């Protein structure tokens, strides 16, 4: 079998993709090395003292797990020295991470969730790293980019992807020319092309949602979930329910099998306000770019995720992503209620 690495794939597609420059390839290579280091640590998690919490709380008010911190440190340490970035943002850090002092800089911006699904770390369930890449719009040499330069409209992403640390470690990514999946062959230490041109089925059979939030949802959201459980679906029978609680793993399964992942807005019992949980910049936007490139859709229920311009680094959004027909059905039900 012909075995194509990520770098070869980028070079082979250089003609079609303006993204496949040497600098972009360096960025991806550094990301891959970071993911291999994280993958190694995740794989031996039960053997070394990396399970459990650090004792700290992150910017999201969540308890930080040791592996969260490890993954975040690996990415910041490696990517800061890559020479191709001008700034980074991580789910774990409140502010922008600037490329300090005398380190070489480039004009790419990297936003990442270092270890998504971290509540699953200690029980051996698949987790992942999500990344989103932009270019700095106006390069003012020597100056660090402002938050405004980083918070670009989500359709300005030049690449997006994720690593999934599962029964095998995979990288799935897009530069705007289709979605391609690479599986880590541990015997040679390379990600090899295993899933070229991934396309999500137009019609799914699976819905993924944390249904325990039923009492915190508004009526249109309840109507949506009731539809997928009813006998009146497009399938003429209820969809199957699958929810891992790890976005990367739920998304990856639905990408391959078809289906819809939903994290609707839920009501905060203290404030009465409705809000999504997932972060626009490091979770929803990259997954939205991937799904659209794979023929699916991503919305907040009604509006396209890639049309959002983030108002803050850690903005949260309701998120509906997956097969085209299923996401359209949600839009129809929610649109009627507006």
- Burial-class residue 3 by CB neighbours within 10 Å (0-12, 13-18, 19+): exposed
Binder of ligand AHM out of 113, 190, 292, 300 (CB under 6 A): 113
Regarding 116 and contact with Mg ion (CB under 5 A), the answer is: yes
Q: Which does 246 bind (CB under 5 to 8 A by kind): ligand AHM, Mg ion, none?
A: ligand AHM
Query: Which one, 277 or 304, has the nearer CB to ligand AHM?
Result: 277
Regarding 41 and contact with Mg ion (CB under 5 A), the answer is: no
Name, in order, each residue with C-beta under 8 angstroms of 8's C-beta and a sequence gap of 6 or more: none
Query: Which one, 65 or 324, has the nearer CB to Mg ion?
Result: 65
The residues in 7-36 that bind ligand AHM, with binding defined as CB under 6 A, are: none
Q: Which stretches within the chain are classed as H helix?
A: 6-12, 22-43, 66-80, 147-150, 219-229, 247-257, 285-293, 324-337
265 in Cβ contact with 274 (< 8 Å): yes
Largest CA distance in the chain: 63
Q: Strands 260-263 and 319-322: what pairing?
A: antiparallel
Regarding 30 and contact with Mg ion (CB under 5 A), the answer is: no
Q: Is 338 helix (H, G, I), strand (E, B) or coil?
A: coil
Minimum gap (Å) between residue 283 Cβ and Mg ion? 5
Q: Which does 128 bind (CB under 5 to 8 A by kind): ligand AHM, Mg ion, none?
A: none
Transcribe 263-309 into DSSP letters.
E--EE-TTT--EE--SBIIIIIHHHHHHHHHTT-EEESSSSBGGG--
Number of amino acids touching ligand AHM (CB under 6 A): 11
Q: Is 66 assigned to a binding site? A: no
Q: Which does 126 bind (CB under 5 to 8 A by kind): ligand AHM, Mg ion, none?
A: none
The residues in 210-269 that bind ligand AHM, with binding defined as CB under 6 A, are: 210, 245-247
Tell me the backbone φ, ψ of residue 172, rounded to 5 degrees: -125, 125
Binder of Mg ion out of 41, 113, 190, 292 (CB under 5 A): 113
Q: Is 92 assigned to a binding site? A: no
Tokens of 166: 């599962």
Query: Which one, 308 or 319, has the nearer CB to ligand AHM?
Result: 319
Minimum gap (Å) between residue 246 Cβ and ligand AHM? 5
Q: Interface residues with Mg ion (CB under 5 A)?
A: 113, 116
């Amino acid at each position: 079998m012909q075995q194509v690495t990520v770098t070869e794939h980028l070079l082979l597609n250089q003609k079609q993709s303006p993204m496949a420059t040497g600098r972009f390839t360096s960025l991806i290579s550094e990301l891959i090395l970071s993911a291999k280091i994280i993958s190694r640590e995740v794989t031996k998690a039960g053997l070394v003292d990396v399970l459990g919490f650090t004792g700290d709380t992150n910017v999201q008010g969540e308890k930080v797990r040791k592996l969260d911190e490890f993954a975040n440190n690996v990415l910041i340490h490696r990517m800061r020295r890559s020479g191709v970035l001008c700034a980074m943002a991580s789910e774990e850090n409140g502010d922008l991470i600037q490329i300090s002092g005398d380190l070489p800089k480039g004009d790419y911006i990297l936003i990442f969730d270092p270890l998504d699904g971290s509540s699953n770390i200690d029980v051996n369930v698949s987790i992942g790293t999500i990344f989103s890449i932009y270019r700095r719009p106006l390069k003012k040499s020597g100056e660090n980019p402002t938050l405004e330069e980083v918070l670009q409209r989500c359709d300005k992403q030049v690449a997006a992807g994720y690593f999934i640390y599962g029964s095998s470690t995979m990288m799935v990514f897009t530069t705007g020319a289709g979605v391609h999946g690479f599986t880590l062959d541990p015997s040679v230490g390379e990600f090899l092309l295993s899933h070229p041109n991934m396309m999500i089925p137009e019609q799914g059979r699976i819905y993924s949602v944390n249904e325990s939030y039923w009492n915190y949802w508004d009526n249109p959201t309840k109507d949506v979930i009731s539809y997928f459980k009813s006998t009146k679906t497009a399938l003429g029978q209820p969809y199957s329910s699958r929810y891992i609680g790890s976005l990367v793993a739920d998304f990856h399964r639905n990408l391959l099998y078809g289906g819809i992942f939903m994290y609707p807005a839920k009501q905060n019992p203290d404030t009465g306000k409705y809000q999504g949980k997932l972060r626009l910049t490091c979770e929803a936007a990259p997954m939205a770019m991937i799904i659209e490139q794979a023929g699916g859709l991503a919305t907040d229920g009604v509006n396209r995720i890639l049309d959002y311009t983030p108002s803050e680094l850690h903005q949260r959004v309701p998120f509906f992503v997956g097969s085209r027909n299923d996401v359209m059905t949600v839009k129809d039900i929610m649109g009627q209620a507006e």
